[in-house]
């Protein structure tokens, strides 16, 4: 194991016991444990509904595809969704897979979230919403963003896959708009092996997601759903009303989700303690910038954007970190517009892209953990300083 890895296990015997209970039960497909986890998750984040999926990526797919088929929204293929220029690939792919069009806006160089000063000018008559991304644990300025969306008549939704447990003005990140998505992959704040979640207060969106998650059928929906139900219960079990997928999670994932969710507040508290040390040691250096916290970040990791004598020298730093057994990686995907796949995605650019280019060229991040890592941060500081001193 590396001295300072990007991620580490959050499990103990509680999770293994939960898995064994599923094995003993013989029920492995989605069932009562998934439903219990969904209920607990909705309650934790203050929403009426939560729908678990097979991953954070499929949570994005499910939410966006279900919004497309929402009977009250009236989205059409070719409508635009505004996105930040820095995020994970599956923030973007479900938008174009649904027939919508990406519209890219630069990020704020301080927070690394979408630049709200550039967002308003990017809105066109075809814009239907903004898919805000809470990057590396840092929540967007929800009050300002909601005001902008209300003023311009577009919707707000969140990719919160990297920021479970973050808060802004006492509200939980992921709960700011029509829906919010979460990931519980190994490297994230809690782990259900694979797994994702969508939360919402919108009943029609919820019912659409239940159908879309499982083939587009209406099984398990209540009588008062807005979706059409066949009067014959025999036919109803296999009646398809939407062009759905199979995005269902496993019962094991729901089972381990329950104890992991209970541990989340403790995990976030430790991550924030580590972040305070990182901010103290790295916040005033003249050769790099760190991500500026908005609200209460859940600190997925610690971003560094090189400047001054380290600008353009990321390769030297990466090599030194590797030798010191400190794992690092680019800041998510960097400027996503520089990825070759962009030629295959219907998109437009709604602002000048400057900050995302700098992140692409000079950005990297190291991990944070749910346990104290002051020795690792101290060693990180020593290695970074040693590289800066060469130039």
Active site residues: 188
Give the 3-state secondary structure of the chain.
Answer: CCCECCCCCCCCHHHHHHHHHHHHHCCCECCHHHHHHHHHHHHHCCCCEEEEECCHHHHHHHHHHHHHCCCCCCCCCCCEEEEECCCCHHHHHHHHHCCCEEEEECECCCCCCECHHHHHHHCCCCEEEEEEECHHHCCCCHHHHHHHHHHHCCEEEEECCCCCCCEECCEECCCCCCEEEEECCCCCCCCCCCCEEEEECCHHHHHHHHHHHECCECCCCCCCCCCCCCCCHHHHCCCECCCCCECCCEHHHHHHHHHHHHHHHHHHHHHHHHHHHHHHHHCCCCCEEECCCCCECCCCEEEEEECHHHCCCHHHHHHHHHHCCECEECCCCCCHHHCHHHHHCCEEECCCCCHHHHHHHHEEEEECCCCCCHHHHHHHHHHHHHHHCCC
């Amino acid at each position: 194991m590396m001295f300072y890895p990007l991620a580490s296990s959050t499990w103990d015997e509680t999770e293994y016991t939960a898995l064994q209970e599923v094995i003993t039960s013989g029920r492995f497909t989605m069932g009562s444990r998934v439903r219990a986890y969904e209920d607990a998750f909705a309650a934790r984040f203050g929403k009426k509904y939560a729908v678990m999926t097979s991953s954070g990526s499929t949570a994005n797919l499910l939410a966006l595809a279900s919004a497309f088929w929402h009977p009250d929204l009236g989205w059409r293929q070719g409508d635009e969704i505004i996105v930040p220029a820095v995020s994970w690939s599956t923030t973007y792919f479900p938008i174009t897979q649904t027939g919508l069009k990406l519209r890219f806006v630069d990020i704020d160089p301080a927070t690394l979230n979408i630049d709200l000063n550039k967002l308003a000018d990017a809105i066109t008559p075809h814009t239907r919403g903004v898919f805000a991304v809470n990057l590396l644990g840092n929540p967007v300025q929800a009050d300002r963003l909601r005001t902008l969306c209300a003023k311009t008549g577009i919707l707000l939704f969140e990719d919160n896959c990297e920021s479970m447990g973050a808060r802004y003005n006492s509200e939980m990140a992921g709960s700011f708009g029509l829906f919010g998505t979460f990931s519980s992959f190994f490297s994230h704040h809690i782990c259900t092996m694979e797994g994702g979640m969508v939360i919402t207060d919108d009943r029609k969106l919820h019912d659409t997601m239940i159908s879309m998650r499982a083939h587009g059928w209406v099984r398990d929906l209540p009588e008062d759903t807005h979706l059409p139900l066949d009067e014959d219960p025999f036919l109803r079990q296999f009646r398809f009303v939407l062009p759905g997928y199979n995005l269902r999670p496993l019962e094991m994932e729901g089972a381990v989700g329950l104890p992991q969710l209970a541990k989340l507040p403790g995990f976030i508290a430790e991550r924030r303690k580590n972040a305070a040390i990182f901010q103290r040691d790295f916040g005033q250096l003249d050769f790099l910038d760190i991500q500026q916290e908005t609200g209460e970040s859940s600190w997925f990791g610690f971003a560094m954007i090189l400047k001054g004598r380290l600008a353009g020298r990321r390769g030297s730093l990466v090599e030194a970190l590797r030798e010191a057994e400190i794992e690092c990686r680019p800041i998510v995907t960097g400027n996503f517009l520089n990825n070759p796949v962009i030629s295959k995605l219907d998109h437009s650019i709604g602002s000048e892209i400057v900050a995302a280019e700098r992140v692409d060229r000079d950005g990297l991040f190291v991990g944070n953990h749910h346990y104290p890592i002051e020795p690792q941060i101290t060693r990180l500081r020593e290695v970074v300083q040693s590289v800066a001193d060469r130039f």
